[in-house]
Amino acid sequence: MKIASRFNFRLAGVVLLIVGLFVVIYAAFILETSTYSFGTWDSDQPITNRVESPFNQYLIGFFGVVMIFLGYKALKFIPYDERDTRNISELDLS
């Protein structure tokens, strides 16, 4: 059995699609936003500011979308040794 067979690419594509879908769902619905705290001084009183940022949700969600895209490309990929490499003319298509 060849390492780069069409079955292996389809299997990898399906696995990447499923994992990417779970990553996107996790980033959108389960993952919490990051909270940053920093302190400043106002004359003699300390002031603590809290900032929430959804950057980690966007980053992990983008990673999931990239995994879905790579899974789709792996699912549709045909290895080079299984491709039809003969010249195809317009007469062959009709």
Q: What is the 3-state secondary structure (H, E, C) of the chain?
A: CCCCCHHHHHHHHHHHHHHHHHHHHHHHHHCCCEEEEEEEEECCEEEEEEEEECHHHHHHHHHHHHHHHHHHHHHHCCCHHHCCCCCCCHHHHC
The pLDDT, as a whole number, for residue 50 is 82
Residue 30 inside a domain? The answer is: yes
Q: Count of domains in the chain?
A: 1
pTM of the entire predicted model: 0.74
Please list the ranges in the chain whose pLDDT falls under 70: 1-2, 85, 88-89, 92-94
Residue 36 inside a domain? The answer is: yes
Percent of the chain with pLDDT over 90: 44
Its domain, for residue 48, covers 10-78
